[in-house]
Amino acid sequence: MSGLVLTPVRATFRAVAETVVPETATLDADGWREMHDLVEGALSSRPESVRRQLVTFLRLVEYLPVARHFHRFSRLAPASRTEVLSRLERSGRLVLRRGMWGVRTLVFLGYYTRPAVQEALGYRAHRDGWSTRRAPAGPDIVAIDTDGGARGS
């Protein structure tokens, strides 16, 4: 599955990802593969038109800076990349803001759904809930009076 949609814009996507989530710059090859697979997995269920729009938008991101910065996006310094993406995010054109929102959402999906990252953030939700943190106290159920009030039981 890896590379199905992002292959023609892989360098741009990686540069965008490193700008959106700076921690991705430290990912090793396995980390990038995992991230790409997650993004490709999410894209696989989206309509073909959405996938085409994504690739078109990433191509736009790649070449947009040439006029102002004389370099393609993926060859810019981090500060310049941030400037380019900020301008897109604040653009007066909805289509550009939407594009930026969609790409950043994909980057977040690829990065923040990974179990290792969630653990590193300190996210500890567990199916056993309170029993993993402390012993819950005894039951103290408060039933709803179907006439409108509440009553303890």
Write out the residues near other proteins by the rule CB under 8 A.
Answer: 19-23, 38, 42, 45-46, 82, 85, 89-90, 94, 97-98, 100-102, 104-105, 107-109, 111-113, 115, 117-118, 121-133, 136-137, 139-144, 146, 150
Which is nearer to other proteins, 63 or 123 (by Cβ)? 123
Minimum CB separation from other proteins for residue 124, in Å? 6
Are 25 and 77 contacting, i.e. CB atoms less than 8 angstroms apart? no
Minimum CB separation from other proteins for residue 36, in Å? 14
Minimum CB separation from other proteins for residue 108, in Å? 4
Which residues, in sequence order, are CB contacts of 91 under 8 Å at separation 6+?
97, 100
Which is nearer to other proteins, 11 or 42 (by Cβ)? 42
Distance CA 4, CA 83 (A): 29
Six token digits for residue 81: 């990349």
Which is nearer to other proteins, 28 or 139 (by Cβ)? 139
Minimum CB separation from other proteins for residue 97, in Å? 3
Q: What is the DSSP letter of 77?
A: -
**Distances in Å between the alpha carbon of 143 and those of 83, 129, 136, 139?**
55, 22, 19, 12
Minimum CB separation from other proteins for residue 59, in Å? 19
> What is the β-pairing status of strands 142-144 and 150-152?
antiparallel
Which is nearer to other proteins, 9 or 85 (by Cβ)? 85
Which is nearer to other proteins, 59 or 102 (by Cβ)? 102
Which residues, in sequence order, are CB contacts of 11 under 8 Å at separation 6+?
62, 74
